[in-house]
Amino acid sequence: MNGGKSLLRNTATLLLAVLVLWQVLYWIVGDVALRSPAQTLEYTVRFVSTSQFTAHLSETASAFGMALVLAVLIGLGIGFTLGGSRFLGDVFEPMLIALYSIPKITLYPILLLAFGLGISSKVAFGAIHGVIPIALFTINAVRNVRAVHIKTGRVMALGPFDMVARIVFPSALPEIFAGLRIGFSLTLIGTLLGEMFASQRGLGFLLMSAIGLHNVELIMTLTLLLTLFAGTASVILLAINQRLRSRAASR
């Protein structure tokens, strides 16, 4: 409970600091490149009620949702497989780390050739951003499961599936969830980048169009909306992660 109150207090303090800094920057820069918090909020309220926003939001939400599901399923599958086998982990984990170091934007032309313009390439681009962090966290989480828990499962004669479902997954969940939190953010970034560079729909496309037209109001509004969504999701996921760690520590 105290941890949750502390998180909310820190979040509120950060939000207040950002608003103050934003207003100060607006006073310094002026209307050339910024809008004040009040002006942005007023424009945002009007913009979110338009059909244009609804259509682009729906496209981004669909692409992000599919990309996140793929990233989680593939990442967990790779993580449990490599984490449960020392040999496979030693062989393929360095490859995953090497792949993670590659700038993902260099792979986008290949994805466009493979999937073409449209939602498929955005989903693929978003998913490849989130898969590897989730896989790496899951590998470490599975390896760090207490030996006594594994021995208990063997004494109970559990099969591979039951061992994972009843022993490994619950024990590794706090660390796995940390990977899911990072994978969530990176998948969102990947999806938006995909929309910005090769798409005709979605919030990323809308933001890129606003930049090209120097539409400061729309740029500020989209930035605010995306920041609020990502920040709110991050706070919620962090609170859940802290609770999972607290429960694991009390066992």
Q: What is the pLDDT of residue 138?
A: 92
Q: What is the pLDDT of residue 165?
A: 75
Greater confidence (124 vs 163) lies with 124
How much is the average pLDDT of 197-206?
Answer: 86
Neighbouring C-beta atoms of residue 72, cutoff 10 Å: 21
70-93 per-position pLDDT tens digit? 999 999 999 988 988 888 888 888
Q: What does the pLDDT read at residue 169? A: 80
Tally of CA atoms within 13 A in the half-sphere of 72 that contains its CB: 14
For residues 87 and 166, the model is more confident at 87
The arithmetic mean of pLDDT across residues 120-130, rounded, is 90
Q: What is the rounded average pLDDT of the residues 206-211?
A: 91
When pLDDT is cut at 50, 70 and 90, the band that residue 207 belongs to is: very high
Q: What is the mean pLDDT of residues 223-239?
A: 88
Residues with Cβ within 8 Å of residue 19, at least 6 apart in sequence:
37
Residue 130 CA to residue 179 CA, distance in Å, equals 9
Q: 88-114: per-residue pLDDT in tens?
A: 888 888 888 888 888 888 888 888 888
pLDDT higher than threshold 90 for residue 66: yes
Comparing 251 with 40, the larger pLDDT belongs to 40
**Per-residue model confidence (pLDDT) at position 46:** 93
Q: What integer best gives the mean pLDDT of the chain?
A: 85
Higher pLDDT: 199 or 5? It is 199
Residue 7 confidence (pLDDT): 66
- Rounded to whole angstroms, the Cα distance separating 190 from 206 reads 15
Position 1 pLDDT exceeds 60: no
Q: How confident is the model over 154-159, as a mean pLDDT?
A: 73
Determine the average pLDDT of the residues in 130-143: 92
Q: Is the pTM of this model over 0.95?
A: no
Q: Enumerate the H helices of 101-202 as residue ranges.
A: 108-115, 119-143, 147-155, 160-163, 169-197
Q: Which two tokens stand for residue 17?
A: 């600091």
Dist CA 206 CA 240 (whole Å): 32
pLDDT of residue 83: 87
Q: Could you tell me which residues come within 8 angstroms of residue 242 by beta carbon, excluding any fewer than 6 positions away?
A: 3, 4, 7
- pLDDT class for 154, splitting at 50, 70, 90? confident
* Average pLDDT estimate for 117-123: 84
Most confident of 106-110, 132-136, 161-165: 132-136
29 three-state secondary structure: helix
Which whole number is the average pLDDT over 48-67? Answer: 93
